[in-house]
Amino acid sequence: MNKDIFKLEPQRLWKHFYSLTQIPRPSKKEKAAVDFMINFGRNLGLETITDEVGNVIIRKPATPGMENRKTVILQGHLDMVPQKNSDKKHDFEKDPIEAYVDGEWVTANGTTLGADNGIGVAAAMAVLEAKDIAHGPVEALFTIDEETGMTGAFGIKPGLLKGDILLNLDSEDEGELYVGCAGGLDANIRFSFTPQPVPSDMVAYKLAVLGLKGGHSGLEINLGRGNSIKLLFRFLYRACKTLGVRIGTIDGGSLRNAIPRESFAVVTVPSKNATNFEKLVREYEQIYKNEFSLTEPNLSFTCKTDSLPKFLVDENSQSRAIRAFFSCPNGVVRMSDAVPGLVETSNNLARVYTEGNQIVGQCLMRSSVDSAKEALADKMAAIFELADAAILFEGGYPGWKPNPNSPILTVMQQVYKNKFGTTPEVKAIHAGLECGLLGGVYPNLDMISFGPTIRHPHSPDEKVNIATVGKFWEFLVEVLKNVPLKG
């Protein structure tokens, strides 16, 4: 959308990032990006392979005089979260991202930008292409489907990677080095219902919760933002009890790892209660605006008359589903005792929708403590089993335990201080990084995660700070020059 991106420094990184924005690459639909990366590596004359799940590995020999350094794996993921504003026409499987420069930031027109993890991937590409950067042996690992299940990292086999040090280029605060992350677990919930005919005296409305910020369900779960699904079911609990509201269809949230920004429902109301229903919607909109006046200034909750649905959810199933989703834990469950200010355990009620004769729900639970994650899963099971729903847990992945004796951490702290005059913060993160899975297969890897400053990932407000991309690049180049010797 705006080729001023090509003028940004470092140009060698930004040109690759722009190329990535032109390649549709939503999670599980990364084939074009995989093919692009294979061609990129082969055109450079570098050893380029793909594994059986679609990860791409490109190897570059050490520059002269650096052959005795440990091998560094530069790791990032090719996929991006496909989120857009409801009024934006965009097909993530076909259309390029309309990226542009907005002051100190690069952002996108009505969609996610893909800086998560496009900037990290672009940095690795720039290293592979460079002829003027000193480094030991480099192995670039580009994984698939990180955002919706870490399929690529799950598929990595022993013996494939040759590196000693892994630099994960997928963190989102410049000046911070991450040495640990949370594990995760998906919950898939299903309520079966009996479709019932719509009584003749009903009026239909479409409810809409709009204008929420959403965001990353790990990094931003502690910011007190509204969850559109929770707000919708909070209203339905009251409206169904007092006004005889019946559910036709529900469509809330979009992705398991994004805080739900928008939710919709088509409901029916007895004609005699229509005026009171509209009044109750206005009352709840004001309640929500008052409660979220600082965190969600653009929140709206509205209803509009609509055509009658084809059928209604039976009253018993409707009651059980509403009570369960209204009661479902959401947001921060516990803060960490070990790391002040870090979320230990959380749940994101991410998606609820009707499909055939079922109401389907999806949640993503995170915790840096395995036993706490298991306890949250048990609580979720207890709630939904009481409501006679089926609940299935899958897609679990481990956390990444910090290594206080990491040699590369010591090097990176010193390099950063020498380069920028300050000491970087060492942190753990309440999000899933691929380091946990990769470390499970390659337990001897010395791992650090870092990156530039990215705000509002997983939402159409995603943006990356230009100045921090420059610092991130300079830091990466200097670290590669100072990688420890083998042995």
78: CB partners within 8 A, 6+ apart: 25, 30, 33, 34, 37, 56, 117, 121, 142, 143, 144
Q: What is the DSSP string of 411-430?
A: HHHHHHHHHHSSPPEEEEES
Task: Please report, to the nearest 10 degrees, the dihedral formed by the alpha carbons of residues 169, 84, 302, 238 taken in order.
Answer: -50
The answer to whether the beta carbons of residues 24 and 92 sit under 8 Å apart is yes
What is the torsional sign of CA 255, 258, 259, 260? Answer: negative
Q: Strand, helix or coil at 476?
A: helix
- CA–CA distance, 385 with 381 (Å, rounded to integer): 6
Which residues fall within 8 angstroms of residue 63, CB to CB, at 6 or more apart?
133, 134, 135
- Non-local (6+) Cβ contacts of 372 within 8 A are 333, 334, 344, 345
Q: Are 381 and 391 contacting, i.e. CB atoms less than 8 angstroms apart?
A: yes
List, by residue number, the catalytic residues: 79, 146
> What is the pairing mode between strands 263-270 and 195-196?
unpaired
- The 3-state secondary structure of 10-69 reads CHHHHHHHHHHHCCCCECCCCHHHHHHHHHHHHHCCCEEEECCCCCEEEEECCCCCCCCE
Residue 159 near residue 75, CB atoms below 8 Å? no
Q: In the numeric block, which tokens belong to residue 293?
A: 């006046």
Rg (CA), the chain: 24
Cα–Cα distance measured from residue 149 to residue 316, given in angstroms and rounded to the nearest whole number = 34
- Identify the three-state secondary structure at position 485: strand
CB of 114 closer than 8 Å to CB of 82: no
